[in-house]
Each structure stands twice: as structure tokens, then as C-alpha cells.
Amino acid sequence: MKKKIKFPYPAIPVVKLRKFFKFSGTNNTLKSFYYTGLTGLIITLFFFITPKLVILKNNLFVKSLEIKNESKINLEKVLTGKKIKKEEQDDQLDNLQIFEDIFQYEDIPTSTVRLSASTIQQLFKDTNYSLKNVRKNKLVKPVNLELLPNEMKIIESTKERKNLFIQIVLPLILEENNQIKLDRKKLFVILNRSNNSNSEIKWLKMKFKQYGVKNKDLLTLKVRMDEIPVSLAIAQAAKETGWGTSRFALEGNALYGQWTFTGNGIKPLAADSDKSHKVMKFQVLQASVKAYFRNLNTHSSYRKFRKIRAAARDNSEKLDSLILADYLDEYAATGVEYTKTLKQIIKQNSLRDFDDAKLLPNSELMKKLI
């Protein structure tokens, strides 16, 4: 049943009119004319004033939603030697809100077909997509595969298995970084304006929600909404999946071993009976990559990681995966040993060669990022 929407039209006060004229007898016609004219005047005033009141209300409402841009205030503080806030807020996260857009992948009907390893390798060959070429020209073909091949476990050559895994996940990681680049560009445009349009306010509200930012804090959004070095993202995916051979990766497209305590996940075979966690599963690989980015960019365990990354940005430095890896010690139970393993994977496989790689555009918008 549709609900009726009541519009808040302003109440019109009842005006008691003094009897300036006395009507009687043959003056009934004049009396009728007088009241008709008075009623018409009231109705005309009502329809003239009401739209203006509605416009005034809307303007006041929009104004109250405007995001406060403190860049000029911060500049004045710097010039006068006062301190300004440089760290993100410590917010209590709502995971359902943060991952809501990612969970929507599960609702999309898919006719995904799992390609064999040989088919994928032939596809890469036909499109001239090789890691040797990527290392040389820094360009990656926009090949977006949704599932890993089941044969990852039985590829005998370690080098061949690693290369195939990197070729599959590299475009997915670059795609996510590209989207964040576009979002950051839009954020900086908004930061340079004193007033925000309705569409900008709507976009900001969506991003505040996705990144768990409360109180409309633009600095926190700026710190959280940022890229992750490609080499680091590849290394973590390699470590968490055994270069694409794990059960979680093949059955649930889980590239980063993220935990969930809901019913929708894969139970680890070696998990203790009293442990309630499962490994998050996804319908496609891209959703797993997106969830990984969102996790590093919002969870309190990686606050120091984001702080070091933001400092590098402020100093116009390149994001260094070997430095940032040190601040992911809480990602796994092994702590510091985990970060050492990540750095070893990055170095041994020359993964930093891909940090400045560009995804070939599949739209006019993406061409601007190259």
C-alpha cells in the first residue's frame, strides 16, 4: 500500500474581519460580491506565498547539509603558528554500511563460466598481454576475469603459476586504484569550493558511508580514500591464496582471507570447534579486491598504515610498498613475521615493477588517468 505524503504547507491564520459595511435588504448582491472578492484575494495570496515558503525551506535545508570546508581556516592557523588537526577520526565502524556496495555484487545475476588455465593463457597470448611487456611499457590490458582456473593447483611450473596469477589479479587491482584516483580527484575539486552543489553533497554522503566517516570529516575521508601500492596488493593476494591455489580462492573467490562472523562464508577445515569465524566468499574476484581495499582503508588495525601513507602524500613521495608493509603486522596472527614474508615476496618476484603500471582505458574517463 502506498503511503500518502503530507506536504508541510504553512497554516493560514484565520482573520476576523470587522464589519465595515452593513448589508441588508436590497444590498444582498453587493454583499455577495464583497465576500467573493475577499475570498479570491485570500486564495491568490495563498498560492503566491506558499511556493516562496517552500523554496525558502529547501534553501535552509540544503544549507544545513553543506560540508564545511576548513581549508582557508587551516591556512590562517598555519600562518599564525597554530596547530591544525592532521589525523583521521577514530570512528566506530558499521561493517554493513562500509561493505554494502560490495555485498551488492552478490545480488547481481551472473552467467560466469570458469575458464581453464590453458584457455586463459591463450587469451593473454592473443591479446599480447604478458608480464614481460608490462614491465617494459608499463601498460596492462583491461582483461577482467571473474574466476580463477581450477587448474592453478596442478600447474607444475612455479614460475608459470605465479605469472598466470599475477596476470589475472593485476588488472583487478589497477581497476580499483583507478576508481579511487577518480574519487580523490572529485574530492579535491569539492575541497577547493566554498559551497557544494546538491549532487556533490549526495556524493560526499555516499563516500562518508562507504569509508565509515562520521561528522562529515573531510580530512578523515581524504586519509582513508586512497590507493594501495600494486606490489603490496599482489603480494598479499599471493600470500593469502598460495598464488591462487587455496580452497578459499577457488571456491569463494577470496583473494585476501578476510574473516566474517556471519553465515555467508567458508569454514576453515582446521578451525577450532569453538571458533565462529569464516572466510568471506565473493561471487567474483573484483568484489574480493574491492573488499580488501575497503578493509585496509577503514579498519582501526591499519590506522598506522594509513597515517604513514598520508604522510607520504603530504611530502609528495611515492607510496613505497616495502615501507607500508611494516604496518600490516595486525593482518595476520604471525605479526611481524607476516610483514617480513610480504616484503620477501615483493623483492623476490620484482613486484614493484608493477607499481607504476597503467591499465589501458576501456572508457573516455579512464583515458584521463594515463
The secondary structure of residue 211, as a DSSP letter, is: T
DSSP-derived 3-state class of residue 177: helix
The pTM for the full model equals 0.74
b/e burial code for range 229-242 (CB count within 10 A of at least 16 → b): bbbbbbbbbbbbbe
Residue 357 is predicted with a pLDDT of: 97
Residue 75 is predicted with a pLDDT of: 38
Residue 100 is predicted with a pLDDT of: 72
Residue 234 is predicted with a pLDDT of: 98
- The answer to whether the CB of 336 falls within 8 A of the CB of 226 is no
Residue 252 is predicted with a pLDDT of: 92
The gap between the terminal CA atoms of the chain, to the nearest Å, is: 51
Per-residue pLDDT tens for 150-201?
999 999 999 999 999 999 999 999 999 999 999 999 999 998 888 889 999 9
Residue 269 is predicted with a pLDDT of: 75
Residue 77 is predicted with a pLDDT of: 46
Long-range contacts made by residues 313-317, C-beta under 8 angstroms, separation at least 24?
Answer: 313/226
- Stretches in the chain below the pLDDT threshold 50: 1-23, 26, 58-84, 272-273, 366, 370
Q: Bridge-partner residues for 344, per DSSP?
A: none
Residue 369 CB partners (closer than 8 Å, separation 6+): 178, 181, 182, 358, 361
